[in-house]
Amino acid sequence: MFANYHTHTSRCKHAVGEDKEYVEAAIRGGMKVLGFSDHCPWVYENDFVSGCRMEPSKLDDYIDSIQALKKAYAKDIKIYLGFESEYIPELMEAQDKLLKDYPIDYMILGQHFVSPEPYGNYTGVPTHDEDYLREYVDLIMEGMESGRYKYVAHPDLIHFTGNQQLYDEQMLRLCQYLKKKNVPVEINLLGVYEQRHYTSEHFLNIAKQAGNSVIVGVDAHSPDRLERTDIHEQCFQMAKDSGLQVIEVLDGLNV
């Protein structure tokens, strides 16, 4: 595996390991590019503190750490500084203000919620709500239109258990949009390894119908996943079996 752009840190409160350990594991795994994309902070008006993402107070430490690792390991691996974030329209202005002075290389869109976290459910919880499914797809498309994000992490994260035809129609709508924008869909190693509902072969067949390319994202919450070449190869085999072209380097990020 040449590159991975989906890497978390312990600051998100559900990952383990030191930043340096992720870098060294990626090197042992044969990677030449590692992008850190921890769960981006939100600024909430009611002072809500999320239990599943970085707090704003940890931003400086995150930035300083990754910037230092870029220099320390420059001869061994190319490191990028990024974030994974939802697109929540009413919170975007405050997030943009929070991040505007930081040297961020890229962001990826992971739509874990469709409304601000204190009031919304995690999209990976089973649901048969058809409007919720449509809103999920609409928000991803709107988010990608904003130009903020390089690609969509685990696009089939939403765990829709309702009408199969509607699900297929909505996922095809999303995949066709991403194809038009020349944005790859992610095969999520975390979901595959832990046998979650994503990334599914069914979704990849829809992506094949739309003509999408794919990118493998480790979604690393522990350093060891970055050197598990057996799981990396399993994800690449999924792409091959579905007849999908794998993209390893993101546009706009020089190796």
- DSSP code per residue over the chain: --EE--B--GGGSS--S-HHHHHHHHHHTT-SEEEEEEEPP---TT----SSS--GGGHHHHHHHHHHHHHHTTTT-EEEEEEEE---HHHHHHHHHHHTTS---EEEE--S-SS-TTTS--TTS-B--HHHHHHHHHHHHHHHHTT--S-BSSTT-S-B-S-HHHHHHHHHHHHHHHHHTT-PEEEEHHHHHTT-S-S-HHHHHHHHHHT--EEEE--BSSGGGGG-HHHHHHHHHHHHHTT-PBP-S-TT---
Tell whether the model's pLDDT for residue 162 goes beyond 70.
Answer: yes
Confidence of residue 255 (pLDDT cuts 50, 70, 90): low
Q: What is the pLDDT of residue 172?
A: 99
CA angle at 28 for the pair 241 and 24, rounded to the nearest 5°: 125
Q: What is the mean pLDDT of the chain?
A: 96
pTM of the predicted structure, to 2 decimals: 0.95
Across-strand partners of 3?
33
Give the pLDDT band (50/70/90) at residue 149: very high
Q: What is the dihedral of CA 70, 220, 112, 182, to 10 degrees?
A: 70
Tens-place pLDDT, residues 211-254: 999 999 999 999 999 999 999 999 999 999 999 999 999 988 87
Please determine, for residue 193, whether its predicted confidence score (pLDDT) is greater than 80.
yes
**Distance of alpha carbon 219 from alpha carbon 36, whole angstroms:** 10
Domains and CATH numbers, the chain: 3-241 (3.20.20.140)
Stretch 129-144: mean pLDDT: 98
Mean pLDDT, residues 21-35: 98
46 pLDDT band, cuts 50/70/90, is confident
* Residues 63-86 pLDDT 10s: 999 999 999 999 999 999 999 999
